[in-house]
């Protein structure tokens, strides 16, 4: 004899995987970190770039504080963007192979951009 399961019985055990809280929290933290970092970068860069042009912008990036905050802005922005794209891909891409490939691709591109951006700022900072 086949047992009849109620909707609650069917749903039981299909709840949260207990992994979304950390992801949600980190996305909020990177969003909060991006606010002062972006404001500092915009004000400092445009003040120096508008008054001194290219050499003013280069001079601004040669400051240890500006170089550090620029790298932090880059890394926080990339982390925040990857986290947001990951949620979209996990929610709306249903083919498992496409999902895994897309997640790998966005993380690979973000890691490449982080390396290139950090090395670029370091090159300007050290005057190489």
Using the structure block, give the residue that is written with the tokens 């980190």. Answer: 26
Q: What is the pLDDT of residue 64?
A: 96
Q: How confident is the model at residue 127 (pLDDT cuts 50, 70, 90)?
A: confident
Note the pLDDT of residue 32. Answer: 97
- Per-residue model confidence (pLDDT) at position 13: 60
Q: Output the pTM of the full model.
A: 0.81
Class of domain 22-126: mainly alpha
* pLDDT tens string 80-113: 999 999 999 999 999 999 999 999 999 999 999 9
Sign of CA pseudo-dihedral 16, 91, 28, 33: positive
* Average pLDDT rounded to a whole number, residues 26-38: 96
Range from 2-11, 40-49, 67-76 carrying the lowest mean pLDDT: 2-11
Quote the percentage of the chain above a pLDDT of 70. Answer: 88
Distance from C-alpha of 66 to C-alpha of 92, rounded to nearest angstrom: 39
The whole-number pLDDT of residue 23 equals: 86
Q: Answer yes or no: is pLDDT of 4 > 90.
A: no
How many residues can be counted in the chain? 128
Q: What is the DSSP letter of 12?
A: T
In the chain, domain spans: 22-126
Band (48; pLDDT cuts 50, 70, 90): confident
């Amino acid at each position: 004899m086949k047992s009849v399961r109620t909707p609650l019985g069917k749903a039981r055990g299909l709840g949260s995987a207990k992994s979304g809280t950390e992801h949600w929290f980190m996305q909020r933290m990177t969003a909060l970190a991006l606010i002062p970092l972006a404001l500092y970068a915009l004000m400092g860069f445009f003040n120096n770039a508008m008054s001194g042009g290219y050499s003013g912008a280069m001079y601004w990036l040669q400051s240890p504080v500006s170089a550090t905050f620029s790298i932090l802005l880059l890394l926080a922005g990339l982390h925040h963007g990857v986290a947001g794209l990951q949620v979209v891909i996990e929610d709306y891409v249903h083919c498992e192979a496409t999902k895994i490939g897309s997640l790998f691709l966005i993380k690979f591109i973000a890691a490449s951009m982080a390396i290139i951006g950090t090395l670029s700022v370091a090159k300007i900072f050290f005057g190489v």
